Amino acid sequence: MGRSKENPDDRSITSGTDFLQLNIDDAPVGGLSDWLARQLRLAISDGRLRVGGKLPATRVLAGELSVSRGVVTEAYQRLIEDGHVAGRGRGGTIVVAAPASAPTAARPAPAPATSPPPAALFAAVPGADIFDSLRAVPARIDLSPGVPDLAAFPRTAWLRAERSVLAGLSPADFGYGDPGGTPALRHAVASWLARTRGIRVDPAEVIIVAGVAQALGLLAQVLLHDGICAVAVEDPGSLGTRQHLLNWQLDTPPIRVDSGGLRVDELRASGAAAVLLTPAHQFPTGVVLDGERRRELMRWARDGGLIIEDDYDAEHRYDRPPVPALRSMLADHVCYAGSVSKLLAPALRVGWVVPPPKYRGALVAAKRNADLGNAVLPQLVLAQLMESGEMERQLRFLRRRHRRRRDAMIEAIGTHLPGAVVHGAAAGLHLMITFDASFADADLAAASLARGVKVQPLSWHSQRPHQPGLVLGYAANTPTDISEGVATLGDVLRRLR
């Protein structure tokens, strides 16, 4: 959509409106659309405009403010791009999501008395509850990795599928389900994996779980029973994943990651019988496991090793072709895990695991003992979304949206953090940046949080010494917030040096 032309003539008559008590005299000359968009964002964030509320028609609001209709249309379009509102045709422009805090706030809201101060979160080795503690601390801008654009959740499609599912259920369908998952969702997941990841699997081989986190917990129990006491992990690699394994008393020897991915020679030298890795888009570096390393890993697995493949955000790619899943090439030696947490929302707690045949029965038994199986109704709704093509449409939408936000972050880093090196930009929901300098990245994260910007230091995700860096999520933030957050990081870094 083209930018509307703004000029002083648009405000030649002093005018205002009862809607949000807007007064056009408060707007700067030549920046009417920016001003109006900021006022609307502020009203959404502080609750004056609630989710489900309708904005005035562009013609009506333009008339009340005595500005051109293009000014209002442009402001609405910016809110649509930010994910705050959605155009519903004749239904009008509807508020669909409210940010946690006003984007224009000068400082973060004071933390509750029970929240630890920012410095305390980063002062020591992160404990098992570190992510819970970090989420509990309020911030103006949250650049934590691993979260998709939650404002883009397909509410209408979900409700439509839910109504369709409920209309077709018999009374018996409300009873306990199969602990391995409903047949409908297992079939849908098998079809989804074949279409999007090149994995040919029988629906009976799919086990539905409460996200990859539960998949790892169940697998840890099975491996311990099988005499496997260590699972090698990537370094740097996900702190949260490592914590899950450690919680089940599994050792996690670190294996170095370089530009080609996991060092398979170091994996062999470690003596570990199993390895957990993210080959399609390594967390946090964004590296893709290259062809030679894949062949080395296949040889290692055929010699008796088990590969646990966490297909972390593999669908979110922008500047490169898809990377085949390891499970598509070596089914008997790969335990594959995925979820909808990065496609739809972590709140759904729905994932899947496709284990080698030798572990399937034990994993289903562990799932049964854990919770008798996932809730049936969400499984059926998700199955309908997958089978109807709605998931593909959502993925295409998210790719366009996430690409714009990634580009905004890269541009902001170039402007405000000129010494930073960007890693992993071709895919995913986050960027890793590193600095050629000597300072503690945890200090940078602590100082940034004190300024209202939440980030994760690279040192959290490294078991061995690594150059300082940050892991920055962009998918859940508007370009405006991304630019402001990175600008704050740049200011904090200059003060630290």
pLDDT in tens, 395-413: 999 999 999 999 999 999 9
Question: Has domain 8-95 been given CATH number 3.40.50.2000?
Answer: no
- Cα-Cα-Cα-Cα dihedral of 461, 464, 468, 470, to 10°? -10
Chain center to CA of 310: 15
In the DSSP assignment, the letter for residue 54 is B
Strand partners, 317: 427
CB-CB contact of 460 with 391 (8 Å):
no
Strands 351-354 and 207-209: antiparallel
Question: Has domain 118-152+394-496 been given CATH number 3.40.640.10?
Answer: no
Could you tell me the fold of the domain covering 171-389? Answer: Aspartate Aminotransferase; domain 2 (3.40.640)
Over 70: is that where the pLDDT of 107 sits?
no
**240 token code pair:** 């949260």
CA distance 259 to 288: 8
In this predicted structure, what is the pLDDT of residue 89?
78
Which of the four pLDDT bands, split at 50, 70 and 90, describes residue 28?
confident
* Residue 243 C-beta-side C-alpha neighbours within 13 Å: 14
In this predicted structure, what is the pLDDT of residue 25?
80
Chain center to CA of 339: 12
In this predicted structure, what is the pLDDT of residue 15?
53
Return all residues near 113 (Cβ < 8 A) that are at least 6 apart. none
Out of 86-90, 292-296, 413-417, pick the least confident: 86-90
Instruction: Give me the residue spans of the domains in the chain.
Output: 8-95, 118-152+394-496, 171-389
pLDDT, tens digit (0-9, with 9 covering 90-100), for 109-124:
444 445 567 778 888 8
Burial of 47 (0-12, 13-18, 19+ CB in 10 A): exposed
In the chain, the amino acid numbered 456 is Q
- Cα-Cα-Cα-Cα dihedral of 253, 257, 263, 267, to 10°? 10
Out of 61-75, 224-238, 331-345, pick the least confident: 61-75
Rounded to 5 degrees, what angle do the CA atoms 374, 378, 379 make? 65
In this predicted structure, what is the pLDDT of residue 213?
95
Chain center to CA of 385: 20
CA distance 384 to 346: 19
- Which residue, chain included where needed, has tokens 């390594």? 282
**97 token code pair:** 């999501």
Which of the four pLDDT bands, split at 50, 70 and 90, describes residue 103?
very low
Out of 50-54, 107-111, 201-205, 451-455, pick the least confident: 107-111
